[in-house]
Amino acid sequence: MRDWKAIARKTGPLRYQMSESDCVPTTVINGMIFVLQRRIHPRLLNMIWHISVESKGGSGWVTSQLLSDLLNTWFKLAVYDRNESDVMPFESRIIEGDAAHLDRNNTIVRVLNAGGVCCLTVRDGRHYILLLSTDGQRFLAFDPYWNRTMASADHQTRFSEYHGLVNTVISRAELMSLLKICSNKWVHVISPIGAEG
């Protein structure tokens, strides 16, 4: 498992969305901050927001693929514009449909175990959450949509050991069910190069 306190010292707590329609950029930015364990460049932040705030609905797939392509380009080329100090050893990819599963040799668990994150569509593609870690049976996640239960003392106590980085736990059975019933499913993976095997 991860050293949540050490990561939180570098990143601070993850961020909540500020409207009803910014779960995608908020989740991707949280994922980048978590993987890099530092702030991200303002130019990249601007591009993520520009591409991913949905204004006309739709499936969100095009937005996710554009974001994945943008991140891959950033990882490879930002050094040449002096926005990063070196080529970044990360990659971004969308897995969709039957490839998004928890069966043997699945990408989701491999990525999480290698230090990556998975941005996961839920509610039939209408919301995005961030998977951060797994022990095989539980998946630790961050849901960027603030609701009253997250403000309760019980909830705060339950997740205090994660220092604002985790606010939701999903069982393996729940995640398998989410992946099976969602007709509009994809997972945006951000990981160290080679983590997907």
Homologous superfamily in CATH for domain 4-192: Cysteine proteinases (3.90.70.10)
The residue that leads in pLDDT, 6 or 52, is 6
- What secondary structure does DSSP assign to 158-189, as a single string? HTGGGTTS--EEEEHHHHHHHHHH-SS-EEEE
User: What is the structure's pLDDT at 54?
Assistant: 59
CB atoms within 10 A of CB 50: 10
User: What is the structure's pLDDT at 162?
Assistant: 95
Q: How many helices (H) and strands (E) does the chain have?
A: 8, 6
User: What is the structure's pLDDT at 52?
Assistant: 81
- In the chain, the percentage of residues whose pLDDT exceeds 70 is 91
pLDDT digits (tens, 9 = 90+) for 39-61: 999 999 999 998 887 555 555 55
pLDDT digits (tens, 9 = 90+) for 64-110: 788 999 999 999 998 888 888 888 899 999 988 778 888 888 889 99
Mean pLDDT (the chain, rounded): 87
Q: Does residue 129 register a pLDDT over 70?
A: yes
User: What is the pTM assigned to this prediction?
Assistant: 0.91
Q: How far apart are the first and last CA of the chain?
A: 20
* 163 contact partners, CB below 8 Å, separation of at least 6: 4, 5, 7, 8, 13
User: What is the structure's pLDDT at 61?
Assistant: 56
User: What is the structure's pLDDT at 161?
Assistant: 95
The three-class DSSP label of residue 63 is helix
Model confidence at 8, in pLDDT bands (50, 70, 90)? Answer: very high
Question: Using the 8-state DSSP alphabet, how is residue 182 labeled?
Answer: -
pLDDT digits (tens, 9 = 90+) for 14-47: 999 998 888 889 999 999 999 999 999 999 999 9
* 186 contact partners, CB below 8 Å, separation of at least 6: 61, 64, 94, 95, 96, 97, 100, 121, 125
Q: Does residue 182 register a pLDDT over 70?
A: no
User: What is the structure's pLDDT at 53?
Assistant: 74
